[in-house]
Amino acid sequence: MTTEAVSRPQTAARPDPSGSSPRSGQPLRVALLGCGTVGSEVARLLIDSSADLQARIGRPLELVGIAVRRLNRPRAGLDPELFTTDAEALVGRDDVDLVVEVIGGIEPARTLILSALRHGASVVTANKALLAEDGATLFTAAEDAGVDLYFEAAVAGAIPIVRPLRESLVGDEITSVIGIVNGTTNFILDKMDGEGAGFAETLSDAQALGYAEADPTADVEGFDAAAKAAILASLAFHTRVTAADVYREGITDVTTSDIASARAIGFVVKLLAICELADPDADGQRSVSVRVHPAMIPRSHPLASVGGAYNAVFVESRSAGRLMFYGPGAGGSPTASAVLGDLVTVARNRVRGAAGPGESSYAARPVSPIDDVVTRYHISLEVADVTGVLASIATCFAEHGVSIQTVRQAGRGSDAQLVIVTHRARDAALSATVRALRTLPAVREVASVMRVEGDV
């Protein structure tokens, strides 16, 4: 391992364009932060594919250190000498050109990335939680240092979606991005739908397969998808959207009866991330809405057939029309593919003395509240099977301006189950309707309320 130190300009790109730098032809040195599900695959690919990576970049990549929490864990195929628990010292080394952050979480990841950027290293990260919470600080630091911050793996695992939004579609006007962006919850919902499996056992399977976050609450409560939605909306609409701006519901309240009810009307339940650009208001201002929640979609909808831990992202834009991106959304090897793609790109940029695109947030659009979202709803009610019950319920919907599209009734002795699907209505109007339904004497229980997305 070489220990040569090179001084680093702090505020400008660090070119090696002509081959005249003292380091020309020498390896680009890579520090890896984290060697878990994703990091171990990144390390493996760096070693196994070193000759091809060198050919693609024009210079070799040399893995000079790996920061972990526990030194005593077995790390098959990796030189024990590479490992350290002193991540700060690793990113502070003057001879590190590229830093890959796959620790996850907010701290120490944020401090380490900022330190790496300030030391002049380009950074590749898979950390959607951090980008969605404080991406602006990271982008500013990268801009100030004239280096790259790439994050393809942060959204939808192996699927190229960040670069298409950031680069390929940057000349177009994106109007909506709708996706299944969490592999764990899709895996769980798919098994509940296909096999009638229970929630807890399916979550354990997802954890064993390396799909779930360290704390699976992030997956099942929708935090992970909300972070990805914030990143997607920021990229698509050239504005800053943080995780706190995203309306979020997870899948822990989705019951087997919701899934059966969806199935009965030809729908399937998916956890969706929905990012929409509104039409201009009276002042010409265009707001965005960004939300994550379970939704029923028709089985004929392209997102309905996305199974297992696969992800898919639907993009609609003014000129290109409808685009669908599909592939493995989680797991060590698929995610490492996206990390390596970024690593090659930032390495090439470095060799050319260039930097890729930075943050584009010029549009500064307001984020509209969930109350203003307009969509359709599926409502399941347990009611007394008495004369006039249907009329009283229909009146309640009408009084709140919510129009009913279909009603299905199944009798059960003295009770009946009513399943109502509405036309498009404001979320605030639907919430008010549900509150009023709960006060009707004939309504025993509002058993479930779920949004319905996708054209029928």
Tokens of 364: 């500064």
Q: Does 219 bind ligand HSE (CB under 6 A)?
A: yes
Cβ proximity of 145 and 11 under 8 Å: yes
Q: Give the residue among 300, 299, 295, 275 at the shortest CA–CA distance from 287.
A: 275
| Among the listed residues 122, 182, 239, 368, the single contact to ligand HSE using CB under 6 A | 182
Q: Terminus-to-terminus CA distance in the chain, angstroms?
A: 61
- Kind of pairing, strands 98-101 and 122-125? parallel
Per-residue contact track with ligand NDP, 160 to 199, x per CB under 6 A?
----------------------------------------
> Closer to ligand NDP at the Cβ: 146 or 328?
328
Q: Which does 69 bind (CB under 5 to 8 A by kind): ligand NDP, ligand HSE, none?
A: ligand NDP
- Interacting stretch for ligand HSE, rule CB under 6 A, among 24-32, 143-151, 176-184, 381-389? 176-184
Q: Does 210 bind ligand HSE (CB under 6 A)?
A: no
Catalytic (active site) residue 228: yes
Residues that bind ligand NDP (rule: CB under 6 A) add up to a total of 28
* Smallest distance, ligand NDP to C-beta of residue 259, A: 24
- Interacting stretch for ligand NDP, rule CB under 6 A, among 98-106, 194-202, 277-285, 365-373? 98-106
| Among the listed residues 35, 116, 121, 296, the single contact to ligand NDP using CB under 6 A | 35
> Closer to ligand NDP at the Cβ: 87 or 271?
87
Q: Report angle CA 224, 226, 229 to the nearest 5 degrees.
A: 115
> Closer to ligand HSE at the Cβ: 127 or 289?
127
| Among the listed residues 222, 331, 341, 454, the single contact to ligand NDP using CB under 6 A | 331
* Smallest distance, ligand NDP to C-beta of residue 76, A: 13
Tokens of 287: 């707001």
Q: Does 329 bind ligand HSE (CB under 6 A)?
A: yes
Nearest residue to ligand NDP on Cβ basis: 36
Tokens of 420: 């109502």
Q: Does 239 bind ligand HSE (CB under 6 A)?
A: no
Q: Which does 184 bind (CB under 5 to 8 A by kind): ligand NDP, ligand HSE, none?
A: ligand HSE
Write phi, then psi, for 150 (nearest 5 degrees). Answer: -115, 150
> Closer to ligand HSE at the Cβ: 186 or 345?
186
- In angstroms and rounded to an integer, the radius of gyration of the C-alpha atoms of the chain is 25
Q: Which does 454 bind (CB under 5 to 8 A by kind): ligand NDP, ligand HSE, none?
A: none
Catalytic sites, residue numbers: 228
Binding site for ligand NDP (CB under 6 A): 34-39, 67-70, 73, 87, 102-104, 108, 126-128, 153, 157, 210-211, 213-214, 330-331, 335
Binding site for ligand HSE (CB under 6 A): 157, 182-184, 211-213, 219, 224, 329-330
